[in-house]
Chains A and B, each alone.
Chain A
Amino acid sequence: MVGTAAADLATFGRDVAEWVADAELPAVPNDVDERFEALRGWQKTLYEAGWLGVDWPEEFGGRGLSILYQAEVMKQLIAAGAPLPVAIVNLIVAGPTLVGFGSDQQRAEHLPKMLAAEEIWCQGFSEPNAGSDLASLRTSARADGDHFVVNGQKVWTSYAHRADFCALLARTDAEAPSHKGISFLIVDMRSPGVTVRPLRQLTGDAEFSEVFFEDVRVPKENLVGELNGGWGVAMHSLGSERSRILIQRHAGADAALRQAIATLRESGAKISPDVKRRIGRALAQVAALEAQVRKTVRRVQSAAPPGALDSVDKLVLTEVEQDVFGLIYDLLGPYRLAGDAAPLGLESERWIHDYLYARSWSISGGTLQVQRNIVAERLLGLPRT
């Protein structure tokens, strides 16, 4: 079973490791916009070196390998202490959706630029009154000649203020049952009538925004998939997002824990047995998460469609991430309050930010409670009444 593929993968991993060892790693500023710019450049560097879109088709800038190889890249970046690419929506949401459902023209036009972070995408799914109940969304796209005219509001739209395009879900048939009247559109964020209002978040960043659409004209060739077939595209997109997020976020939690441990070691501080125990537990949790990633990568590789198992992964992922970042946060002790301290060598600004950010993970992309409902209904097949 393991055979030549594993040997190739090992060689591939060594190639990545050698490349990263020689690469000039970018500094990662705490300021959200500065960080975005620095990592945008880093993403282009990674792409040009052949380390992104590894599992995307060759004709669209990818390398046509399996997702195992993309996971291996992330693993090697982490191992080398290198930052991860920034345009997450491109890489794990909008890009894979276009790979699966886009027209040839849409794919040729956008996919290579998405990989290189030459285009930044945002995801226009959630609305003020359509969060967990996404299918109740009300943003409308009315046909008008060879255009749609979009009106409505989206919220929690990450990086909308930096985005060139939006992957938008809008209602194209108001009469149809809620799931059956939705279409998936590509909207140019520079179109007249698009207004972005950044929202200040718990972390202090303004990474996501409200986005208002007022009579925004969208060419009909920007429809992805079938008219009124957007719900299926979105479900695929969210499922794909979950498995890819699992890979990326495991890498993030692993990196954070390693960095915190390295810092503690360098600080020379005396570490209590209780902290040692908690760090040992966090290491075991991250190892378990890695095992889960391996299983999921194999599942995705076997072309299994996104489904309820992705929700199991999200339950597992969220618990581990929140525990890991909660542990590091606790190590700050009374310095949890101070933004410019370095107790035990740990940079408080960064770890306070990362802990608070981690709290969003049981909310975004479908809350923990929604994931439990999905597992109960679709995986366990529990009766509803």
Chain B
Amino acid sequence: MSDVPFTKPEDELAAEFFSTTIAQLSGAGMPERLLEEEEKLPPFPDEPWRAAAESGWFRLLLPEELDGLGLGYAELGAIFRAVGHRLMRGPLLDHAVALPLIAAATSEALRGEISAALDGESTIVLAQPLPRPYGAGSDLTLAGAELRGTADLVSFGAAADSFVVVADRDGETVLLLVSASAAEVRERGSHDPTVELATVGFSDVEVAADRVLLEGAAAARTLAMVHGAQRLMAVAELSGAVEEMTAMAVSYAGERVQFERPIAGFQALRHILAEMTGKASTLLSLSDAALWDADADRERVPELGRLAKAFSAEPSRFVAEQALQVYGGVGFTHEVPLHLFMRRALSLQGFLGEDADLFTEIGSAVLEAV
């Protein structure tokens, strides 16, 4: 893999997180390890996941007074950007983003339970409705104490010890902590090399009152923060993956010889690579700016996450598809790792909202504002 071609974040701590994360994941054999394991994945959690827990990634956003690292989005974003460069298996967007934010907002008793997951001792993932129109008709609802409904495309649902269930109770959002033993979990195939998917169903599961993590305004506010932060981190990861794919394509074009010269000598390819560079540069700029702005004003996290996530799809897809074009036939095979990055990038396009839907939301908001 080539060196990172763009300016590093100016935040020194973030820059340090970026380089140590690259080193840590490279040391764990990423991403080549995913190539070898493609056919036969070891059970999750695996070694890189445990190392991430030990490095404190899952406690990074948690305030210091709650035994967290009390750091910001810029630092966590640097980790995610590095993950984009090297890839990593696991429900990272749940453990490093959603759980610390929920832990900080919930009661002390339930925080203890989440705390074990933040140390990597257990796995807790979100079970929530898909954006409309997908998943309609099987909504997760809490009627009295009874939870029913289905969450699809749950990341590492089969490996989870518990779920944070995002349910509807009389039109209000409520977050519940529900043991996996109460759920019907069905594994399903995944085209994302870093994620295993499951469908998680609940048939009239009795949920005790003390399993409610958050309700009322606090639940809605925390969920908006969680989604905003997860989108920001997905974009940070994409910015890294897009840089990596660009660097891979640049490097390959310099090595591959046809017509007795490197294919990078052909202007048609030079222009594609220059365009990819422009896309990668902008995506990283927007990701960094959104992370800094999020740290400067936490209230803006939902808005910044939506904006950055909406923007990220187009450059990510462009770079993935054009990298494949530059590689030609060999890029279409598992002989080179490009497909891993491409599949991860495409997977994130649909995470927490398609770009088209997010754009419509953004446009509606400004046109209707008075």
Contacts and interface: CB of A to CB of B under 8 A. Distances in A.
Interface centre among A295, A319, A377 (most CB of B within 10 A): A295
Interface residues of A, number: 45
B277 to A, nearest CB: 6
Interface stretch (A42-50, A63-71, A284-292): A284-292
A375 B278 contact: yes
B282 A288 contact: yes
B250 A278 contact: no
B363 A279 contact: yes
A281 interface: yes
Interface string A280-318: 110111011111101100110000000001001001100
Contacts of B290: 291
A285 to B, nearest CB: 7
A295 B273 contact: no
Given A295-B288, A372-B271, A276 B282 contact: no
Interface in B293-330: 296, 307-308, 310-311
A382 interface: yes
B333 interface: no
A77 B241 CA distance: 37
Given A284-B311, A288-B285, A290-B289, A315 B278 contact: yes
Nearest to A314: B278
B286 interface: yes
B116 interface: no
B363 A1 contact: no
A295 B274 contact: no
A309 B355 CA distance: 28
Interface in B349-365: 355-356, 358-364
Given A287-B307, A294-B285, A380-B274, A271 B362 contact: no
Contacts of A288: 282-283, 285-286, 311
Given A373-B267, A382-B265, A276 B273 contact: no
Nearest to B270: A376
Interface stretch (B4-12, B60-68, B97-105, B340-348): B4-12
B363 A280 contact: yes
Given A283-B307, A285-B311, A385-B261, A261 B367 contact: yes
A337 B270 CA distance: 38
Interface in A334-385: 369, 371-373, 375-377, 379-380, 382-385
Given A299-B7, A372-B270, A292 B285 contact: yes
A66 to B, nearest CB: 14
A281 B310 contact: yes
Contacts of A284: 307-308, 310-311, 359, 362
A200 interface: no
A278 B359 CA distance: 7
Contacts of A298: 10
B52 to A, nearest CB: 26
A365 B225 CA distance: 43
Nearest to A282: B363
B289 A382 contact: no
A377 B271 CA distance: 10
A277 interface: yes
A385 B288 CA distance: 36
A114 B37 CA distance: 65
B281 A271 contact: no
Contacts of A290: 289
Contacts of A379: 5, 277
Nearest to B368: A265
B265 A278 contact: no
A174 interface: no
Given A382-B264, A383-B254, A276 B360 contact: yes
Given A291-B285, A316-B281, A373-B270, 5 more contacts: A275-B363, A279-B366, A281-B355, A287-B289, A316-B282
8 contacts: A1-B10, A2-B296, A265-B370, A291-B282, A292-B286, A376-B271, A380-B5, A383-B262
* Smallest CB-CB A-B distances: 10 pairs: A280-B363, A280-B359, A280-B362, A276-B363, A291-B289, A376-B270, A372-B274, A315-B278, A279-B363, A375-B274
